[in-house]
Structure 1
């Protein structure tokens, strides 16, 4: 697509245009140097503010509900409701043969290490190592160790230290590689042996978007890997299945909480440097990579503490540090809330909390607290002291010959699993609109309150009036240009919201042809674009310049980027309808690139435009199922959960068949020769 790289790269203020009287192009400039309207200096963060405000409202409702739960019976009812909702998305998975193989063995004085490969799904390989103490109880308790976001998985120094300390104290330990880490890269470069996409969080998020668009989360795959790990432990006679523990730090803490909430065979869980609340998380560092964002979980009434409520009354230890980037305040609030459910179930001592000075790290004090916790809860008395240990080299702990499943076994990836578990939902036409509302999160609830004129400037033959639009929620102001020829009287209005922002539109050759045909063009910067683009927002889902974290938080609250942009178009249309200069004008639209979906969503619910010219359409949604290395920017043009239910072309059925026409750019070098006469003629008729 011509503009595919511009949505999140465009800087809103350019200097190469020659504007009359040196008027700045920003609608927020007060034309006194670089100064802007004071109250709107942070307005470029509009998209995150919209998302956070909605999340906070939903989370406050959930907190009020949970605060009212008092009795044991009510807590059990709440817990069962959570479990039913939480487990529903994993019913698509069936247990298949593990096909376990032991590919090697290492000997240490106090323990042995077996290198393990099994299949959590057919052809989807999990790599790990089983650490077995030579002196142990028979059968012995086992700890599942989940790795955080390290390139080398459980082989990193910090994780090995905890693993070997556990095994030297008599615990059997199974440590495995998460998806996208260690030996399980999903996008391996055969030349370098590394990832073509990036580090672990990038691998998770890139694969996670493909999963999200089909209506689920990659967290399902992470949880299922953990379930199959427990299935593997059941095959080992050394393991006492009544004494299973699980722990891990950071991303490993996430996996610990997710897996332990799902599988009741886990008796004791100690998530480290992860537990907080969604509210504190979104207030501070924002949503994290894909597996930490279960599909629409906030919308469904779930918060991070609910992962631990589901475990009550089983032993749980929350492991924290004072300066972790996962909000410590959120961890403390979680602990206080969890006391209520554990107290109601009569096991107050089974929910524990440890805190030490430090950043996002495992401290000696915390490691010893975890040792003590497992020794007590899994009934293995001993000395909890954390000792120095001799580490293995990475390659010593490889379960595959090459250190990568992709090159050794040619196994499946999440990309193939998405195809396997994807199902088409042939919805009747009368159900499609409702499906769009529920997946895109449409709610045209903002009311136009004022249009603030902030000046005008000229460029060539055009005059551009600048406005920002205020609304009754006062959460952001929508930047708008009204573009016309000098002295032109309004005949028709063409709404053209450009994927790269309204200022970029001024350089489009087609613009003058549309103006010369007697049209006035109205253009807004929708959230995430132009003056509503935040250049500082990245997050750990930042893939090839595109911040997927916006998509993750939107989906958590049951909304979408196209849906939010459609709501902004509604605000723009309220402004146009209130403008006396446009009373008798015919309204048409140009919908382009990544803004086609939001434009059509608005149109089918509001029937505002007589005609819509569709330029540079994105590929069909099946593209994300068929294309392993997809264009990240295109994900912003698709509603999560829509694949298999509806595509952007399906929205045409709700519009008069003469009102929409697609104009594809056949000549990328000279698109104006293709576009101008045809588009203008279509809008004129």
Structure 2
């Protein structure tokens, strides 16, 4: 992706296809010669390579968790294990904000048969409003045991019918129940647009839009060292604070239950806050951003933190059988923790006949479990089906408009992310160990190929030879590449090319790769893992057509799975680039002392990361690439895929810091884009990269740092030729 010239690249595609047809070439890809893996049996599953690799790492992490639990042999061992695990959970959730006044207020009350519904607003953070309904028993006297009910992924939030019925059912049996909107749902849509009458990033037609809000804002939060779960858990903790302040609540008898994503929140809240005395997750699970799993912190580890407090885990026959079976197995491990702690009777796993959700059969099971441990009446009384009709959503609104954004304004998850990123930037100091800190942050590993590179085909293209290559960067990871080697004698300066949309995007071939090869440069164009030929969703555009495809695509899965195993997508792909540099340096026709890396779009970021840690890279160009991670965090809307991000990057560095490590080697930033892929004026880019420019000036080579724009593919390629021609020789690094 190269900014404005990209449209020119695409315009060439029709002509290329027509030329291929005129030449009598068979149907299929417009440029079949540039495909490396198709037709080679052992690479038939290339598009699942990266996901399979990450799945193996996750399985290894789960196995380590199982081994830890299996090794517990005493209550003291359980306490040590929980102490270590809780520290990991709190670290994964990021820095908690200070406890500030809740400023709770009841905005209205509905009196109903046997219960009342109070409409509540409180502030979990200053001007960050939480809307809720409190179901209060009316035919019993307090103080009451209380139940906190975080809502799952239903756009209606607290007014979702199953949660209404839960609140009514429990309130009629003497439990004060607080059902609240989590951010992105109910009255708390974070991207609400008054013209559209819905969330701006909602494509419409489904209440599952909430997972878009969670994922979209969550990626920004991950850059600052937190995640969306940080916001969910803190809201729940402050809701417990509110319950504890109510005179009609017995603060020693607080429980938590929710279903689907609310079930996951129940697990997290129960693990994080021991004021929850009974935990009942139902059909538990959630979207990726709601899950703070990290190395040493699997779902089983989180559940094990609830021991020895009573834990009832409920599943439904309507959920997919493999998932239910996996949860049942997970509970067996949790059961062992309870048994070693001497409290085996305090946990159970049951399956209720019914669909995914909180449905009849589950209400009764939850109430029986609460009654057992809170010493209340066990009679379930009338079933939920005999309850009065539920309320229209408008009746339950705590705000006048039904939207916090319209009635109260205040903070949102994006605005809080913005403030957090700004605070981190103000505190961040590069320091003497910046290089090591960045390497650790991106989890960069040196290449460790387990087999030699292979040449699959060679094609005479006149001025150059096209060679199809597969090289390996670590066990389980192969990288398809094409080498354009000039046919003139002698050793040639060379470039590794990394293009976000694939190594052989038609315009890239015609306007970059071939002109450079004809000019006498060897060019190795590569597809790092999950890109190009190994992208499960290829062909793709670097800018998705809607927010759903941005939040729920393969890049998003790579991003979250990598975090769970202690890796980052940019770090792993940078390893692939480094392996490509090593391969290129070993070619007989290449001058190993004159190798550059050129990246387009996300590939430009990989070029920066690779060059920062490998002095064999003697020059760098990043075209159409993101200006900074800070710009992502500062923007309400952004269009860059999650594969460019990593956890806590902004705690340690930003992209200009990476660029400063490249000095004094030549660095070209061309058509740099902002968070929304808008090409920036060079002056604005230079302002963002002041620290990098200072590093070049300090080396006495200010002219080697160039920020520019190119308004045509030809102009862009001329810039590359100039960069390669001026590239200083450094010799092969030992």
> TM-score, structure 1 length as denominator?
0.89
Match of 1:670 in 2: 711
Distance 1:366 1:250 in 2: 13
**1:240 and 2:250 matched:** yes
Alpha-carbon offset, residue 3 of structure 1: 5.5
Q: 1:397 to 1:363 in 2, by over 3 A?
A: closer
1:186 to 187, 190, 193: 190
C-alpha contact 2:480 2:527 (8 A) present in aligned 1: yes
Partner-residue secondary structure (3-state), 1:183: coil
Distance 1:311 1:194 in 2: 37
Partner-residue secondary structure (3-state), 1:118: strand
Match of 1:151 in 2: 155
Distance 1:345 1:17 in 2: 73
Alpha-carbon offset, residue 441 of structure 1: 1.4
Match of 2:577 in 1: 569
Distance 2:333 2:548 in 1: 29
Match of 1:252 in 2: 262
Q: Deviations over 1:249-285 (max 9, x none)?
A: 000001111111111111111001126xxxxxxxxxx
Alpha-carbon offset, residue 647 of structure 1: 1.8
**1:38 and 2:46 matched:** no
Match of 2:705 in 1: none
2:350 to 347, 354, 365: 354
Q: Which sits farther off after the overlay, 587-596 or 464-473?
A: 464-473
Match of 2:316 in 1: 321
Alpha-carbon offset, residue 495 of structure 1: 1.0
Distance 1:346 1:613 in 2: 62
Distance 2:123 2:434 in 1: 37
Q: Deviations over 1:4-56 (max 9, x none)?
A: 999xxx9x999667389755532123xxxxxx222221111222223222222
Distance 1:17 1:139 in 2: 81
Distance 2:463 2:167 in 1: 71
Match of 1:33 in 2: none
1:681 to 722, 729, 733: 722
Q: Deviations over 1:411-434 (max 9, x none)?
A: 210112223344234344432222
Match of 2:416 in 1: 417
C-alpha contact 2:619 2:667 (8 A) present in aligned 1: yes
Aligned length: 657
C-alpha contact 2:360 2:384 (8 A) present in aligned 1: no
Alpha-carbon offset, residue 506 of structure 1: 4.1
Residues 352-501 of structure 1 aligned to structure 2 (within 5 Å): 352-384=348-380, 386-388=383-385, 389=387, 390-422=389-421, 423-424=424-425, 425-447=427-449, 449-457=451-459, 463-470=465-472, 473=475, 475-484=476-485, 490-501=491-502
Residues 4-23 of structure 1 aligned to structure 2 (within 5 Å): 18=20
**1:609 and 2:617 matched:** yes
Partner-residue secondary structure (3-state), 1:410: coil
Distance 1:4 1:288 in 2: 35
Q: Which sits farther off after the overlay, 578-587 or 126-135?
A: 578-587
Match of 2:513 in 1: 511
Q: Deviations over 1:531-579 (max 9, x none)?
A: 01112999x9743675423211212222111111111112323332343
Alpha-carbon offset, residue 526 of structure 1: 1.2
Distance 1:679 1:471 in 2: 26
Residues 57-456 of structure 1 aligned to structure 2 (within 5 Å): 57-88=60-91, 89=93, 91-198=95-202, 199-274=209-284, 288-292=287-291, 294=292, 297-299=293-295, 301-322=296-317, 324-325=319-320, 327-384=323-380, 386-388=383-385, 389=387, 390-422=389-421, 423-424=424-425, 425-447=427-449, 449-456=451-458
Q: Deviations over 1:595-639 (max 9, x none)?
A: 222222222222221222232231222212321112233x43343
C-alpha contact 1:3 1:499 (8 A) present in aligned 2: no
Partner-residue secondary structure (3-state), 1:497: strand
Q: Which sits farther off after the overlay, 653-662 or 560-569?
A: 653-662
Partner-residue secondary structure (3-state), 1:450: coil
Distance 1:631 1:331 in 2: 35
Unaligned runs of 5+ in 2: 27-31, 203-208, 673-680, 682-707, 727-734
Alpha-carbon offset, residue 150 of structure 1: 0.5
C-alpha contact 1:490 1:520 (8 A) present in aligned 2: no
Distance 1:62 1:594 in 2: 34
Partner-residue secondary structure (3-state), 1:267: strand
Distance 2:380 2:470 in 1: 62
Alpha-carbon offset, residue 376 of structure 1: 1.4
Alpha-carbon offset, residue 134 of structure 1: 0.8
Distance 1:90 1:647 in 2: 19
Q: 1:134 to 1:544 in 2, by over 3 A?
A: closer
Q: 1:362 to 1:130 in 2, by over 3 A?
A: closer
Unaligned runs of 5+ in 1: 30-35, 276-286
Partner-residue secondary structure (3-state), 1:496: strand
Match of 2:730 in 1: none
Distance 2:19 2:189 in 1: 46
Distance 1:177 1:650 in 2: 39
User: Which protein, 1 or 2, shows the higher relative CO under an 8 Å CA cutoff with sep ≥ 6?
Assistant: 1
C-alpha contact 2:94 2:230 (8 A) present in aligned 1: yes
Q: Deviations over 1:503-527 (max 9, x none)?
A: 1164452334422321011011112
C-alpha contact 1:147 1:251 (8 A) present in aligned 2: yes
Q: Deviations over 1:83-111 (max 9, x none)?
A: 23323445531111111111111111111
> TM-score, structure 2 length as denominator?
0.83
Q: Which sits farther off after the overlay, 399-408 or 376-385?
A: 376-385
Could you say what the CA RMSD is over the residues aligned between the two structures, in angstroms? 2.9
Distance 1:456 1:323 in 2: 54
Q: 1:94 to 1:16 in 2, by over 3 A?
A: farther
Partner-residue secondary structure (3-state), 2:192: coil
